[in-house]
Structure 1
Amino acid sequence: MTTIIVLFNLREDADKDAYENWAKTTDLPTASKLPSVDKFEVLRTTGLLGGGDAPYQYIEVLEINDLEQLGKDAATEAMQQVTAEFVTFADNPQFILTESI
């Protein structure tokens, strides 16, 4: 299984409340229903354990059961719309592919 970690900050012109509402009402429900996605979470960072600000405001964690299917899922009209909306909020998101060791 592959886990995708997405690290990002909001764009300077993005409203935090608008993003979080969109994440709860659009992004999470849509992506969670994809055949390739076993689990999807959006996390807001609150700081570093030793103190200070985290380098990213948000972290998405997607547990993927089939990367090939994810490609098909991402090509759907619904996900194309979600992606277009996501990039209006996220500033240079980093998508990191991971696997358990």
Structure 2
Amino acid sequence: MRRMLVFFNLKSGADVAAYEAWANDVDIPTVRNLPSVAGFTVHKCAEALGDAQMPHDYVEIIDVKDVDGFFEDISTEAMKAVAAQFAEFTDDPVFVWTDPVGPAD
């Protein structure tokens, strides 16, 4: 299994409540229903420790059980529509594949 992290900020002037409603009503259930996805959560970054500046407003965590299938799943018209809606809210998201260091949980 691979994990993808998506770090992003909302666009200037984006409505936070509208984004979060869309995330809960559209993005989360749609991505969770993809056959290649084992889990998906969206997190609002609450605070940074110490004097650090928060680099991102949100992070998505996607647990992908089938990477090839994931790319097939996200190429559908339905997911292209979700991605277009995501792009309306977000400013330069960064998509990062991660690999565990050490034993799994």
Deviation at 1:49, TM superposition (A): 2.1
SS at match of 1:100: coil
2:31 corresponds to: 31
C-alpha contact 1:8 1:90 (8 A) present in aligned 2:
yes
Counterpart of 2:29 in structure 1: which amino acid?
P
Structure 2: gaps spanning 5 or more residues: none
2:64 corresponds to: 64
SS at match of 2:50: coil
Structure 2 counterparts to residues 17-96 of structure 1, below 5 A: 17-51=17-51, 53-96=53-96
Normalising by structure 1, report the TM-score.
0.95
What RMSD, in angstroms, separates the aligned Cα atoms of the two structures? 1.0
Counterpart of 1:73 in structure 2: which amino acid?
D
C-alpha contact 1:46 1:53 (8 A) present in aligned 2:
no
SS at match of 2:81: helix
**Which whole-Å deviations, capped at 9, do the CAs of 1:18-61 have from their partners, x for residues lacking one?**
00000000000000000111000000011112255411000000
* Percent of paired sites with the same residue: 40
Counterpart of 1:43 in structure 2: which amino acid?
H
Structure 1: gaps spanning 5 or more residues: none
C-alpha contact 1:4 1:64 (8 A) present in aligned 2:
yes
C-alpha contact 1:3 1:63 (8 A) present in aligned 2:
yes
SS at match of 2:56: coil
When the two structures are aligned, how many residues end up with a matched partner? 101
Normalising by structure 2, report the TM-score.
0.92
Instruction: Choose 1 or 2 for highest CA Rg.
Output: 2
For residues 13 and 74 of structure 1, the distance between their equivalents in structure 2, rounded to whole angstroms, comes to 28
